Structure 1
Amino acid sequence: MSQPEVDGRMAPRVHYRFGNEFSPANRHGRVELTVTADGGARLDHHDVARVRRWTARLDPVVWPRLLDELRRSSFPVVEVPPIPPGGTSHQIEVVGADLAGELVLARAAASGAGLAGALRILDSLVHQLSGGAVRATRDELPPVAHWIVAEPAEAGAAAGAASFGMVGGAPAYAVTTPENSFRLFSVPDGEPRGASTRSSAPIRALALGAAGARELLATGGDDQIVKVWDVNTGAELHARGGPEGAVRAVTAPVVGGDGWIFAAGSDGRVWSWRMAGGVIEERGAISGWTGSLNDVCFARVADLDLVAAGGDEGVVYVWNVADGSNLHTLSGHQGWVNAVSMMGSGRKGLLASGGADGVVRVWDLATGKQVHSLVGEAAGASGVGQTAGVTGVVFGEVAGRPVVASCALDGMLRLWDVTSGDALGAWPCGGDWPSGIAAVQTGDRSMIVTSCADGPVRGWDVAGGRLVLELTADALGGAVTALAAGRSGDRTLLATGYPDGGMRLWDAASGSPVRTHRPADGRVASVAFGLSGGAPVLVTGDATGTVRVDDVGSGEVLSVPTPHTGSVMALGFAAIGDRDVVVSGSADGTVRIWDAVTGAPLRRMLGHLAAVTAVTAGRVGDRMVVVSAGRDRVVRTWDAATGEPLHGGHGHPAPVYCLAFGTLEHRPVIASGGQDGTVRIWEAATGAELHVLPGNDGTVTALAFGATDGTSFLAVATDDDAVRVWRLPDGLLARETRLAQRPMAALFSAPDRFYVAGRSGLAVVDII
């Protein structure tokens, strides 16, 4: 984004910078955000692997509110404590405005310095522009960044990956190529056994494994999808797709007796899943939009199941679920559309939309014609019109007549008669950043409920214009980023979503808390009630691109049908009971378990604070254990059957890139190695550290256990083209071999050798 000029001068702007991509203590790299007075924004994110850049247009309220927050703190003359040793500095610089200046502070000092409001806006912009990729920030605002464009990342090809396994009943290895493909070779003669075509994205991980008698290969990379192939037939068994970028809206209607999920987001597509018989089946995506989609809704009208979506291009599309045909393209908004809602009654239906132009437009779904433009004088004699962008719309009823309500960035809830277009009232939402709106029926009372990122949840009796429900910020437990209403049994519930991915349920009639759903890994951008197998579920879409289905009754996560939301960095195979599975680790910080044959998602493990770059699995007693590690420098173990965390091994001073399961002195152990060359050995059952092998130069690229004549050995390969074989448990160096290539995978072959694979072929390292 070039810097705009005003009268030959650089336009006013705010720079926000923090982090260091070269510091091992900083997991999130360096971030530089620029916000300009004309509504532009640019974000640069530097980490050790690549540089990513995004540009966007911001809602007009952002710039003045950011400056107002800075003025309240007396910026730049603010007393701040010194940054503690090892702390991360945050720099705010204002150029060209009346409060020009610069300030450097620790993030923890923001509240005491009166800068919490300004940093909340800046952190939210970082999160929204990056689609949650910069995990050091929280997004506590409704969507205010639009037309987000990600520039091509500056990154070299993937470093390469290799794996040993079986092909055609004989030992083999697979290795990636610089051309984003993979090749198969036999062991030990290195004869070609097959190859893939070029992938559209770099492959960063692969693994050979099996499911029953079928030999498989799993691959993953920057397209974020785990793909599994039958290595003997070449058939691709599965490659589960999903949103590429933030999910900004979800709806979960019942269609044809089954629960469905529709999710819309920043990739300009609407993805769908069918929930039937306890199975969530991906049904593909509808595309064709330009820019992000910001809201999606459903209604049944004239025996047709309709879905509508609106987004940054300012157009609302309506299509028929049965055949995917487009019924209407509704144009009229000036600027992006933030919110849509539909109402069906027999053969009649209406759609309401609102967005950046501050107008609520009502459309006839039979004709596609606009019925009302609700703003300014058109809002009625009271003059109740929007003065800022609309963030939510919903249909409801008052005394049997249809109404439409909206919330906007001026902090107001407004209500109109749908038939006449007359304004019925306006009430304060309680905050400047309304994030959700819902129509609620409790007994004989009709309520419109709103949520705010910086205030309470309020419910208004729209017939009498009285405030009848208020959940304070203290009761809510934090900024509310999403709101929905639904039924469970004989009562109406409200669901509130939060920046940490958590949710809470409330009794809509009394306002009493019902249940808390545990946090996940991304800001809840949208939430909806639905049905799966006749049981009520809660569906969420988050800023990382994840769709999650929770059981309303227990709060347990039932399924995450979407793929990883970051590059797939590590893969492995395992068996849980009689089920063969694939384990994957990703730059999104999650570990996932998938059915090896069908690709059905089985488990998602949360706990890592940065990218997961290594996974493996092994048996500990009668339990299958998954091991993961990555850039947060922690080695974690999980129960593969339940996904429950077991142990966390701390001690690595730098990112961990390799793991291996083995046996030492008749007990299962785990070896881990990474960027600093140090290898640590852990007891798998307890997580206790047993040994440290510090004598490896370079980054560890492969590990493998072996045993000869009752003596255990560990092969350690590093990116200085060396393989060192260590005797265990005394830690003596048994052999050091220099190769003519970068080693990528190692395998012990009885009685006394290791095979080491790389892009140039296979090498043999004898133990003695």
Structure 2
Amino acid sequence: MADALWDDDPSAAPDAVPGGLTDPGWLVRADPGSVLALPWNMSEPEEQRLAMVYRASLDVHRQLTDAERRFVLALDAARLEQVDLAAQFAAVAVPGADPLGWEPAWVSGSQADSRLVRTLTGHQGQVTAVATAVVAGRALAVTGGRDGTVRVWDLAAGREACPPLPCRTDARSALSAEVDRIATATLDGSEVALLRSKLAGEQRLLVLDLATGFVTGECVRVVAVAELAGRSMVLTLEDDRTLRLWNAATGAELGLSVPAQLLAGPDGYPAEVRVELGGAVRTWDLVGNELDSAPVDAAQQMFDSQAVAVVVDGRLVACAFDHPHGGDTVVTLIGDLAAACGHRSGAPVRVSQSVAVAGRPAALLREYGGSLRVWDRVAGSRPGAQGWVVTTDELRGQPLQLPAEDPGEDYWFWQLADPAPALAVDAGRAAGSVLGTFVVDGRALELTTDADHAVRVWDAATGAEVGERPFPCHEDRIRAGALAEVNGQLRAVTAGLDRSVRLWEVACGRQVNGPLKGHTGHVWDVATAIVDGHPVAVTAGADHTVRVWGLGERRVLRRTGIRGHKDVVLAAAMTTVQGRPAVVTAGADKTLRTWDLATGIPYGGGIAAEVSLLATAELDGRTVAVTVAPDATLRRWDLGTGQELGQPVAGPAGRVLALATAGVDGRAVAMTGSSDGTAQLWELATGQHLGRPLTGHTGRLTALATATVDGRALAVTGSWDKTVRLWDLATGRQLGEPLTGHADWVTSVITTTLNGHPIAVTAGRDGTIRTWSLPDGRPCAEPLPCPAGPVRGLATAVLGTSTHLITTNGTETVSVRDLATGAELVPPLRCPAPVQSALAAPDGALVLCFGPEIAVLSAVDGQASGRAAASGYDSARVAARPGP
């Protein structure tokens, strides 16, 4: 590797003793670099199990303390149904850290996959393109995304192989270009990647030398090639509409590009061209003849002020302007170059994406020094044969094609090698689109998809279809695909807009071991490679990650059926179903699910519902869920049967930001808090609102909880106006004056007990937690500082002799402290993904929702006999809500 590439990470030297990978304690305490340096394809079953668990959150282990890593490993073991390993990891002693306090009882594991080899992180935006190559024996992946960077990864080491390459930035808007297409090839004996970048509608195709990590050139758009005055010339068009004329033999630029004005003639068609050259104004007609060297009358209408001209030796050679013509971008050639190219002067000429020089196929790259390089596409040619600046190239893996994503978009097609023979076109193939062309075991194959989301494989030499039949792959449009040989069998890897990655046996169209699970957003691209002799797939995701999958690995199948959501959990609530404790969750996958708290087995197959807020209640002996949709519609669901109760109810005007349920005068009610600062009561049996809205807040009502104190139903609300207010739900009146103390928005409210006394706990964006006596509203103690930023979720549980305060702030960390003193009771619980909800269960268990997963933690050291203080006061509260 050249000096531009990073050397091997010295921290990656193994410090393990033989057999260390079979010791959970070593995995907790070892430097992650030492673990990452070990081969990922272990041979011993116990090593395979532990390696599988460690790889599940490989991307975060470098960032964790030993105590945090202990909890993540315990969670991941439970996600992969390695229950014995989960207990072993939870029991590991960490010097200087307290015991864990909770251990996983069950975790849904919907996105855990034993085939995951690496998770590569570094992109700060969606990763939209990936390609692979081999440089100096190292398998590399090149990725581009919407964070304005291109990154090169060493797939075996699991880290970046060179510093990130920043894309160009627009000086006016400060926006950075996005790389959305990548292809790799061997040019002149060097491995390169072609990167298509887009910025404000402008597209460029850059060439990245993978051996150095530097951009070495840019493919240019060709207008025309001609022999003019004995010289082979190429006219190119820049994204800013600049025309440039090059000598193909020397790479030198000819002439001068200057701004021009097209003057309108009869019927508005451009009849004359005016150019400033050396301070003098020259005017030509459309056939290139100079008409007048005097200034043009200022009264003449200007057709296009952004046109440009190329002037050589005082002569106008060409003039260009954007001219819509059948949906294509074209330019107008004027003067001698038009005649040399065989075009009528002034006729529109389509901008070409490829070029032939003297009848030979070539691609053009402008080096950053400004010179033009002509790359001959005919393998084996040598410089000097045509007098050009020529280098050779060869096919590596696949032709370089960057297909358009949407109809009508330009096709950037740079075929830097002799293309494979055209495929025989039949009706089935003509209706589809090409996902890519791949060379597998010396055989050129093309992967296509059709409107039914089915995939076909074609032999590029014969045009014959490979395999028995097209195989249906996805529930939505297929975004990307790749081919690889695995254990002598041809397999296809496909990624679709249904957010899944799937592996298929091409010969029979059979899916292998179900979807590859792990990405939490769209998968935009996929490529294959060989790492340490094993075939892998590399996927680029909207979740900012690049993931590497072992294609020859077998998935560990889940036995209990705890599948979980397919997307992030947005809200959760505790309840009981058929007399058993249960947790109800709502996901971004538009499903509502109910889980048995003890076993994790879901009740039924889930309810199809788009939910932003969730609460539960008892109605006529049935357990119901009350949901609010993004459009403020309220719905009621029987959790025992999965059926909707009654008709949807149109919610209050404005956005609903908070939701709770309560019992008022023997009636089950729901209470909503809105962006207009008001609260409204709704009767659950009928769906009708009760009384007038509760008014008083002067800002958005962002937090809400209910409680029953001395037989009276109360509500506690928090708002953008920095106040907390108490309400009597039977009368709809505010109790006392607003409670003040928070210096910023109130973001969370719960009700609980402290030393047997009912209280409200509030958290604000000012970074403090405050406690208030119910119902008089007096402060109970000094404010507690938030451990790591503003609190987004609160829960409390009485375990042993103390009331535990559990807080989340939208990150991966959960804090557990003593509500009375603020002292930390157990080390912070670090999850593999941001925590959206934290709930306390009646039996002392803790429910955490992180990403799409649900985890139930059991208290250890005899604390499980405690009870959740939340059960009598805030069991219907919302544990997660969108930001105001």
Q: Which category of TM-score, normalised to the shorter sequence, fits these structures?
A: 0.3 to 0.5
Higher relative contact order (CA 8 A, sep 6+): 2
- Bigger radius of gyration among the two: 2
Q: Which structure shows the bigger proportion of residues in strand conformation?
A: 1
